């Protein structure tokens, strides 16, 4: 940029590169002042903890602190991979994510296509408003709703089952049901909101395509299937890649509200394992090792996802 050479002294070319740099910084010092709080915040709250990851390789105690604790190499990782509960948590993480993807991924797409086919403006507006709402409700309340609906004694589901002559089902203590409950309530919470991305993509479809299809006698279903869907296919692909990249992130804040020891078998994921071992059990070093494993797997998957999207779609994620 050629701005402001008038009232600020540009560094003469005879000066050393360092003083030239300092001159430039001095000329725009306000920009650096504006940047500083954010950079400091990132260092203090996100990068310093990355240094703290070293306790994954140390015999950490709060008394000795990070630097005073002695190195133990990969010992905590050996401990983890001999722990059946940790292996189970890895498996559960991917199983829950996988089922979540299979059942949860297509629904927002179908919703967007269906919303797009509503031509009654008020109906459409009201339907969308209601569909997005649960996204803004906290997981504590969603878990509260689930617990109160499924309660064996007073929940509406079991009261209905009872009235119909069926046996009561202890939904939340039976590991068989956990994943269905978790994934189902997540779909209830997020499917509507997730459809927004696809609706935005649909908005970019060229209307003349529909016009000419109509002239050719296409039905609305054919137009949806042959025009709308192919147009949003790149968006679908990108969203799929993002979701696969984020598979390690299963909403653990929600899981710890819903699970209990009797359902750990199917419900315990890596992050909930870290929470229990680290924050509840104070085994900071082992939990950090688990966290490091989790972060590395997540990083590799997100990185691979981005690489894929760069390769197969025109736009990369970042």
Partner 1 sequence: MSDFNLYSRGDKIFGYANMFLIALFVLSTLYPFIYIAAASISSGFAVSSGQVVFFPKDITFAAYDKVLSDVVFWKSYANTFFYTIFGTLVSLAIIIPGSYALSRPQLIGRRYFNFFIAFTMWFNAGMIPFFLNLRDLDLLDSRFGILIAFACTAFNIILLRNFFEAIPKSFEEAARMDGAGDFSLLWKVFIPLSKPAIVTVALFCIVARWNGYFWAMILLREEDKIPLQVYLKRIIIEANMDDEFASTLLSSSYSFETIVAAIIVVSIIPVLLVYPYLQKHFNKGIMMGGVKE
* Nearest distance from C-beta of residue 14 to partner 1, angstroms: 20
Q: How far apart are CA 283 and CA 77, in angstroms?
A: 13
Q: For residue 19, what is the enclosing H or E element?
A: helix 17-27
Nearest to 183 by CA among 146, 157, 148, 129: 146
Binding segment for partner 1 (CB under 8 A), chosen from 67-75, 87-95, 225-233, 293-301, is 293-301
Among positions 69-98, residues that touch partner 1 (CB under 8 A) are none
User: Interface with partner 1 includes 163 (CB under 8 A)?
Assistant: yes
Per CB under 8 A, the list member of 12, 18, 63, 119 interacting with partner 1 is: 119
192 binds partner 1 (CB under 8 A): yes
Q: Is 197 in the site for partner 1 (CB under 8 A)?
A: yes
19-58: which residues touch partner 1 (CB under 8 A)?
21, 24-25, 28, 30-35, 37-39, 41-42, 44-46, 48-53, 55
Q: Considering the rule CB under 8 A, would residue 205 count as an interface residue with partner 1?
A: no
Using rule CB under 8 A, residue 262 touches partner 1: no
294 binds partner 1 (CB under 8 A): yes
At 71 the three-state DSSP class reads: strand
The Cα 256–Cα 287 span in angstroms is 16
H-run or E-run covering 58? strand 58-59
Instruction: State the nearest-atom distance from the C-beta of 250 to partner 1, in Å.
Output: 14
Contact 154, 237 (CB under 8 A): no
Sequence-separated (6 or more) residues with CB below 8 Å from residue 239: 105, 197, 198
- Residue closer to partner 1 (CB basis): 52 or 106: 52
Site residues for partner 1, 121-150, by CB under 8 A, read 123, 126-127, 129-134, 136-141, 143-145, 147-149
Q: 99, 183 in Cβ contact below 8 A?
A: yes
Residues binding partner 1: what is the number (CB under 8 A)? Answer: 100
Joined tokens for residue 154 = 């007073």
End-to-end CA distance of the chain: 25
> Binders of partner 1 among 218-247, rule CB under 8 A?
219-221, 235, 238-239, 242
Which secondary structure element, helix H or strand E, spans residue 59, and what is its range? strand 58-59
Output the smallest distance, CB 38 to partner 1, in A.
3
Which position among 109, 248, 250, 274 is part of the footprint of partner 1 (CB under 8 A)? 274
């Amino acid at each position: 940029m050629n701005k402001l050479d008038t009232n600020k002294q540009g560094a003469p070319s005879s000066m050393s590169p360092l003083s030239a740099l300092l001159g430039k910084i001095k000329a725009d010092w306000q920009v650096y002042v504006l940047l500083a709080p954010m950079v400091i915040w990132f260092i203090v709250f996100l990068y310093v903890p990355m240094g703290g990851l070293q306790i994954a390789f140390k015999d950490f105690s709060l008394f000795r602190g990070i630097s005073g604790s002695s190195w133990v190499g990969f010992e905590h990782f050996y401990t983890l991979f001999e722990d059946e509960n940790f292996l189970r948590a890895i498996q559960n993480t991917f199983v829950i994510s996988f089922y979540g993807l299979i059942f949860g991924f297509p629904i927002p797409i179908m919703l967007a296509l269906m919303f797009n086919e509503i031509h009654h403006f008020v109906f459409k507006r009201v339907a969308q408003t209601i569909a997005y709402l649960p996204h803004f409700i906290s997981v504590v309340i969603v878990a509260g709703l689930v617990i109160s609906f499924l309660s064996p004694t007073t929940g509406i589901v079991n009261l209905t089952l009872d009235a119909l002559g069926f046996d009561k089902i202890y939904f939340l203590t039976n590991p068989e049901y956990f994943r269905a409950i978790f994934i189902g309530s997540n779909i209830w919470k997020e499917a509507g909101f997730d459809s927004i991305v696809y609706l935005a993509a649909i908005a970019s479809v060229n209307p003349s395509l529909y016009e000419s299809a109509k002239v050719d006698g296409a039905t609305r279903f054919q137009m949806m299937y042959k025009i709308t869907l192919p147009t949003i296919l790149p968006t679908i692909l990108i969203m799929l890649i993002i979701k696969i990249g984020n598979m390690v992130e299963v909403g653990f804040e929600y899981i710890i509200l819903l699970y209990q020891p009797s359902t750990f078998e199917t419900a315990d994921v890596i992050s909930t394992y870290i929470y229990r071992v680290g924050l509840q059990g104070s085994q900071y070093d082992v939990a950090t090792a688990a966290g490091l494993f989790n972060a590395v797997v997540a990083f590799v998957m997100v990185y691979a996802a981005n690489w894929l999207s760069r390769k197969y779609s025109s736009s990369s994620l970042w």
